[in-house]
């Protein structure tokens, strides 16, 4: 690791979304002395898949040092590919999907035993519980069509990247419930997740707490 005490946080959004999801987290990370990159994945391009999404992130990183790759939700399928292609100091999943090497994105749901939303729980409530109404409305309006054209293809990830990894579970998440996620993290990463109050869109609901937790993860890395 470089001697520089600041990091470059590389923030990867979830499915059907954009880098805007992180717009409240980014300034707090900058306050704490870090650089931030929030990438818009090319999800609307039918010719692209997780490999090209990872390429977009790698390109945005350039030659910056001290990279911390942070993935939310569906972005977890992209993050380890990024870490396998460029030198990374830390990988953080935030209530995110954790893939197996070679696993197609479409296969994740059945392979992990994900059962979907609870009956009678509207999708908007499952995503936005705890988010102020105006922010939820804006996030929904900014949503982008994710074609998923190539989501049936195997992931290009051949082996898990050799990088320290943390998982942050959201205790009030109604889309990826804590009970499900604890088992998924244990089975796929072999670790116990850390936990934080808040729902699935934690970056909008509790941006300062999330940013401070990410900063702490960086500070706790051995130098």
Question: Is the predicted pLDDT of residue 206 greater than 60, yes or no?
Answer: yes
Considering the entire predicted model, what is its pTM?
Answer: 0.95
- Would you put residue 83 in left (φ > 0), alpha (ψ -120 to 50) or beta? alpha
- Tens digit of pLDDT for each residue in 133-191? 999 999 999 999 999 999 999 999 999 999 999 999 999 999 999 999 999 999 999 99
Q: Which residues pair with 91 in a beta bridge?
A: 69, 165
Three-state DSSP class for residue 81: helix
Q: What is the mean predicted confidence (pLDDT) over 26-49?
A: 97
d(CA 116, CA 78): 21
The CATH T-level fold of domain 8-220 is: Rossmann fold (3.40.50)
- Tens digit of pLDDT for each residue in 53-85? 999 999 999 999 999 999 999 999 999 999 999
């Amino acid at each position: 690791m470089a001697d520089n005490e600041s990091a470059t946080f590389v923030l990867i959004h979830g499915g059907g979304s954009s880098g805007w999801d992180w717009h409240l987290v980014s300034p707090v990370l900058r306050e704490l002395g870090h650089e931030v990159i929030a990438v818009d994945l090319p999800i609307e391009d039918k010719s692209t898949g997780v490999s090209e999404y990872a390429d977009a992130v790698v390109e945005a990183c350039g030659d910056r040092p001290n990279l911390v790759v942070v993935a939310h939700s569906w972005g977890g399928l992209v993050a380890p590919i990024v870490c396998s292609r460029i030198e990374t100091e830390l990988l953080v999943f935030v209530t995110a999907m954790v893939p197996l090497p070679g696993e197609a994105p479409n296969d994740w749901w059945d392979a992990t035993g994900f059962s979907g939303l609870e009956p009678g729980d509207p999708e908007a409530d499952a995503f936005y519980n705890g988010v102020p109404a105006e922010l939820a409305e804006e996030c929904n309006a900014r949503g982008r069509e994710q074609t998923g054209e190539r989501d049936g293809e195997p992931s290009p990830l051949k082996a898990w990247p050799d990088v320290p990894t943390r998982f942050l579970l959201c205790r009030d998440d109604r889309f990826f419930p804590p009970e499900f996620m604890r088992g998924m993290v244990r089975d796929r990463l072999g670790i116990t997740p850390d936990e934080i109050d808040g729902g699935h869109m934690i970056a909008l609901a509790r941006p300062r707490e999330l940013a401070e937790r990410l900063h702490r993860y960086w500070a706790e890395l051995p130098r």
